[in-house]
Structure 1
Amino acid sequence: MATWVRGSFKNVEGAIDFDPHRPEELAVEATIDARACWTGGPTRDDHLRSADLLHCEAYPSIRFASTKVAKIGATDFDVAGDLTIRSVTLPVLLAVRYLGTWQTPWWEDGVDKGPKERAGFTGTTSIDRYDFGVDWNAALPNGRIVVGRRIDIVLDVEGIRCND
C-alpha cells in the first residue's frame, strides 16, 4: 500500500436504543449510503463507487445491526453485530465508548422547539475488505499494492432523543 487515505460516508441513518442507566442493553441499527463515500479525491471516490470496489449500482447500502453488547468498563463496551457490504454479512466487533449526554437547543423551521437531549459515542473496528468481496487491487511499479486489505473504521456518533 502506498499511503493511508481517510474517508467518510455523508449519508448515514439509523437508530440507537440506549438507556444510560442500563447501557448493556444498547441496540444499534444503521444504514449507510455507499454512494455517498468521500475521500477528497473525486476520481478515487468514483472508483470506490464502481464495480471494482463498493459496486454501488448493485449494492447502494452498507448495513450494521448490533447483536450483543458487553460492558467492559464504566463507559466502554464491546458491541458485536452483523455488517453487510455487497450483500455479504459477517460478524464484527466494535470497541465503543459512551461519551455522555447533554442538552442543546432544537430549532425547526425557524421555531425554537426547546432543548433536545443528545448522546455521544465513539467506536472502532477493523475489517478485511476481501472478506466482503471488495477485492480489487493493482500493483505499483515498486511492488506495493494500491489498496490495502485491512480497513480501519472509526465511528463518531451523536444520537438525538426522539421519544420525548
Structure 2
Amino acid sequence: MKKFLIAGLLAACVTSTTASAADYVIDTKGAHAFVNFKIKHLGYSWLHGRFNQFDGEFNYDAKKPNESAIKLVIDTRSIDSNHAERDKHLRGSDFLNVSKYPKATFESTSISFSDEANGKVTGKFTLHGVTKTIAFDIQKLGEGSDPWGGYRVGFEGATKIKLADYGIDYDLGPASTHVNLGLHIEGIRK
C-alpha cells in the first residue's frame, strides 16, 4: 500500500467497529483527496505546499459517526512546494530526511462528532521517526451516490504541529516554528 506518503497523514486499513459501518478507500487516483501544508515565511507571507502521493482508508457510518476510524500513509518524498530546489532541501536531512523516513502515517484513536457535520479526530501521527498524538478539527462535507454507481463521502480537517516536536529543528525564524496541515478527503465505499 503505497501511493504517496504525506505528511503520512491517512492511508492503510481501518478496522470496522460496527456491522452497519462501511469501509471507504480515499480517492487519490481520481485526484479528489489532498494533504496540504502551509508555514509562515519570515512572518510576512505563507509558503504553501502539498504531498502528491498518499493512500488511506476509513470506516464511517452516519448513524454511528463516533465509531469511525481512519488510517493514512503519506509518501514524504512527494513533497511539493512548487519550487524544485526548495523541495530538494525539504527532502534532505535538515527537514524530512526522506531517505531515512520515506513515510509519515496517521491512525485515529478516537473520533468525536459534536453534530452531524463537525467533530474532532484524534490519533497517532508519525513523522521523521517520531510519533505524537494530534487532533484534527473535521467537517463532513457531504455524502451520496456518484454518477458511476458508487457511493462517496467527503471530509476536511485541519491541525497545527510544532516542527521541533518531530525532531525537525532547522532554524526558520520565530514565525516559522509550526506547520498547518490540511486534509481534504473523498472516500469511495468499497
Aligned to 2:96, the other structure's residue is in SS state: coil
Find the counterpart in structure 1 of residue 134 from structure 2: 92
Deviation at 1:73, TM superposition (A): 2.2
Q: 1:54 to 1:29 in 2, by over 3 A?
A: same
- Gap runs ≥5 in structure 2: 1-40
Larger gyration radius, structure 1 or structure 2: 1
Aligned to 2:143, the other structure's residue is in SS state: strand
Find the counterpart in structure 2 of residue 119 from structure 1: 153
Find the counterpart in structure 1 of residue 179 from structure 2: 151
Deviation at 1:63, TM superposition (A): 0.2
Deviation at 1:146, TM superposition (A): 8.8
Match of 2:170 among 115, 133, 136: 136
Q: 1:146 to 1:45 in 2, by over 3 A?
A: farther
Runs of 4+ in 1 over 6 A off after TM superposition: none
User: Is residue 60 from structure 1 mapped to residue 102 from structure 2 by the alignment?
Assistant: yes
Q: Distance in 2 between matches of 1:44 and 1:31?
A: 23
Q: Is the 8 A contact 2:59 2:68 kept in 1?
A: yes
Find the counterpart in structure 1 of residue 83 from structure 2: 41
Q: Distance in 2 between matches of 1:123 and 1:116?
A: 23
Find the counterpart in structure 2 of residue 73 from structure 1: 115
Could you say what the CA RMSD is over the residues aligned between the two structures, in angstroms?
1.5
Q: Distance in 2 between matches of 1:147 and 1:57?
A: 28
Q: Is the 8 A contact 2:65 2:112 kept in 1?
A: no
User: Is residue 8 from structure 1 mapped to residue 50 from structure 2 by the alignment?
Assistant: yes
Give me the TM-score of the superposition, normalised by structure 1.
Answer: 0.85
Q: 1:43 to 1:147 in 2, by over 3 A?
A: farther
Q: How many residues align?
A: 148
Give me the TM-score of the superposition, normalised by structure 2.
Answer: 0.74
Letter of the 1:68 counterpart? S
Write out per-residue CA displacement over residues 18-41 of structure 1, whole angstroms, 9 at most, x where no aligned residue.
111111111000000000011101
- Gap runs ≥5 in structure 1: 107-114, 139-144
User: Is residue 160 from structure 1 mapped to residue 181 from structure 2 by the alignment?
Assistant: no
Give the number of the structure with larger relative contact order, counting CA–CA contacts within 8 Å between residues 6 or more apart: 2
Q: Distance in 2 between matches of 1:160 and 1:54?
A: 30
Q: Distance in 1 between matches of 2:175 and 2:105?
A: 22
